[in-house]
Amino acid sequence: MRRTWLIFSQAVTVAVAMLFVVSTLKPEWLPRRAGPEPVVTLPPVSQALPAQPVALSPTAAVSSYAGAARRATPAVVSITARKAPQRSAQSNDPWFRFFFGDGAQPQQPQVGLGSGVFVTPDGYLLTNNHVIEGADDIEVQLADGRTATARLVGTDPETDVAVLKVELERVPAISFGNTDDLQVGDVVLAIGNPFGVGQTVTSGIVSALGRDQLGINTFENFIQTDAAINPGNSGGALVDANGSLVGINTAIYSRSGGSMGIGFAIPVNTARQVMEGLIRDGQVTRGWIGVEPRDLTPEIAQTLNLPVRQGVLITGVLQSGPASAGGVRPGDVVTKVGDKPVTNTAQLLSAVAALKPRQTAVIAVQRGDKALELDVTVAQRPKVRARQPQ
């Protein structure tokens, strides 16, 4: 009996040892205990997969704007504007020449650097008026290394646009974009010659549209961008992601003289209209009525007990001018020019400038508690640089 029990216990011990070894080294040899399968809950098909593929924006997958830069950069040029030195009034004084001589204070020509952009294959290019203003000699250098002397076609200081003409063959002209299609957040590239270091491309987005009342130009409707614009970029190209021209880089807001992420460009629609007028007529024809405007503030409206809160207050009317002949008086508040509402001075200026000379326009004004519509025969805006009645 004892022997049988010893054999049984040894057999059990060996079996347990073998089971441990198999379960450790080859667990797949052991049979699995039947039991319930794990349950996985899947979302409904309408939630698991979108009904239609998600459409990505055209620029979402763009990692490079090399194509836009390659299309636009050949049309952007560097401009060197030279101005003859002004002779000092003392140089004509014989006593001054006696003591100091004629060559005592040699003066060097003034040199300004800027940028420009070819917009037609026959050599017309756009730049800023302040880049070439007063220059006696204007030289442009193309991206391919060619240089040429440019002829001044015309300028429009009130928009800071100038048009030049270069007599060269195979001019690489840029294609025009449409500013009306531009939206805040669109990618833009600024191309120019900052600080004279050579052609440079910077990128950013459209930060704002329709910027005015900056005190830069008479007619302001700027594109604001954070693409780096520095001294020397003036007159260069602001292009969209396709390489089409959407603006002419003009000014920056800066406390240091360099880019701080706030730059301004003239919309290409405005620059193109000015260019066509300068090429066709030698000047830009704008409407003018001869008034002195001021923004209507809530305080002024309350003081004058006016029923309107938006409009442009007329503080002065030029005697014998178009507005005076049409019945406009100081103290009137202009609310509409034709069918265009006006809420500030910039809008009034633009609306009047868009009118054709000798055209009769209906101007809606608020005079005290009376709303009037006055017929004003528009005149041509005088070509002056100083501030004048609008």
Q: Is 259 a catalytic residue?
A: no
Sign of CA pseudo-dihedral 58, 60, 64, 69: positive
Annotated catalytic residue within 207, 234, 259, 350: 234
Cα separation, 164 vs 153, in Å, equals 5
Of the candidates 265, 271, 126, 115, which has an alpha carbon nearest to the alpha carbon of residue 186? 265
Please say if 160 is a catalytic residue: yes
HSE on the CB side for 59, CA within 13 Å? 11
Say which DSSP state 324 is in. H
Please report the DSSP string for 272-310 in residue order. HHHHHHHHHHSS---EE--EEEEEPPHHHHHHTT-S-SS
Residue partners of 209: CB distance under 8 A and separation at least 6: 182, 183, 184, 223, 224
**Under a CB-based contact definition with an 8 Å cutoff, are residues 247 and 236 in contact?**
no
HSE, side-chain direction, 13 A CA sphere, residue 128: 27
With CA atoms as reference, report the closest residue to 267 among 228, 220, 309. 220
Catalytic one of 78, 115, 156, 160 = 160
Q: Are 378 and 351 in contact (CB under 8 A)?
A: no
Q: DSSP letters of 21-48?
A: HHHHH-GGGSPPPP-PPPP-PPPPHHHH
Helices (H), 218-289: 268-281
What value, to the nearest 5°, has the Cα angle with vertex 295 and ends 290 and 300?
115
- Give me the catalytic one of 78, 115, 130, 332: 130
Sign of the alpha-carbon torsion through 332, 333, 335, 337: positive
23 is catalytic: no
Q: Give the integer Cα–Cα distance in Å for 203 and 271.
A: 22
Residues involved in catalysis: 130, 160, 234
